[in-house]
A and B are shown apart, each in its own frame.
Chain A
Amino acid sequence: MFVNGVLHTLEEPVSLKSFLEREGYNLTKIATEMDGQIVSKSLYENTIIYDSTQLEVVSFVGGG
């Protein structure tokens, strides 16, 4: 699977929520697109990602 264009090995399908947490993302500060579609935060837990998934994750930092 790809995350922001970088190859990742996924050993087994996992929920998007688990994957993002494992990768160290703060779920309140990100937006995610999976296979070209934005994923609503409420669906992170029930969305499964596979080895073929293309994920784009944007992380926001404070200041403005």
Chain B
Amino acid sequence: MPAEKTLESMLIARHTPAVHQKVKKGRVCIMGLGGLGSNVAIMLARTGVGFMKIIDFDIVEPSNLNRQAYSIQHLGLPKTEALKQILKEINPYIIVESIQEKVTAENALLMISGCEIVCEAFDDPTQKAMLINTILSKKPKVKIVSGSGLAGFSSANTIKTIRKFKNLYICGDMETEATSESGIMAPRVHICAGHQANMILRLLIHLETV
């Protein structure tokens, strides 16, 4: 197991000291640990984000394996627990807090407290809208990086990041929803998660443009 200083010096060498210092101070909340959230969390852990709060009420099921970061050994475990195990194996020195609970308009603000950036990674569009409305109206300084439109296998080039309302960033093609004709599949999910993780990284180093 590499010592903390060893792992850190490798991150500094790869990312440059200035970037690493900002990323290490980062406090990111990831709401939803499915196809988007689990993969975003892994990318941020690899990047060295110092603090993450991961939130999901659900447990790992076989249907998740087509796109989410979990493996067979995690089946039946709460996603918060499974993901914590995965993240610990990537960077044991970052702090990961978890909440295994469903997010509502009543508890969302408490859940995100202490975090400057929120990754919206829900499946249900009404939950997406609820979270964004709740945070943007009550905590206008928090930055949200959301996912919308990532199903199917249409061109990967349609996935992009746009900025709306100053502190809301949306990644996806904004259109392709998960249906029986257009299932949700690993490649585009990962591309969208990559967009989200990259935008979160940019925000951590104080770059606000897409």
Interface of A toward B, CB cutoff 8 Å? 28-31, 33, 38, 40-41, 56, 58-64
Q: Is the CB of B165 within 8 A of A60?
A: no
Contacting B137 at CB < 8 Å: which of A28, A40, A61, A63?
Answer: A40
> Does A61 contact B37, Cβ atoms closer than 8 Å?
no
| B106 on the A face (CB < 8 A) | no
Q: How many residues of B contact A (CB 8 A)?
A: 35
A-B pairs under 8 A by CB, number: 73
Distance A40 CA – B132 CA, assembled complex (angstroms): 10
Q: Are A56 and B126 in contact (CB under 8 A)?
A: no
- Residue of B32, B121, B176 touching A61 (CB-CB under 8 A): B176
Among A41, A56, A63, residue most surrounded by chain B Cβ atoms (within 10 Å): A63
B35 at the interface (CB under 8 A from A): yes
Is B74 located at the chain interface by the 8 A CB criterion? Answer: no
Residues of B within 8 A of A (CB): 32, 34-37, 121-126, 128-129, 132-133, 136-137, 140, 146-151, 164-165, 168, 170, 172, 174-178, 184
Contact, CB under 8 Å: B124 / A38? no
Measured in the bound complex, the distance between the Cα atoms of B34 and A62 in whole Å is 13
A63 touches B136 (CB 8 A): no
A56–B165 CB distance below 8 A: yes
CB proximity of A61 to chain B, nearest CB, Å:
4
Chain B residues contacting A62 (CB-CB under 8 Å) are: 123-125, 177-178
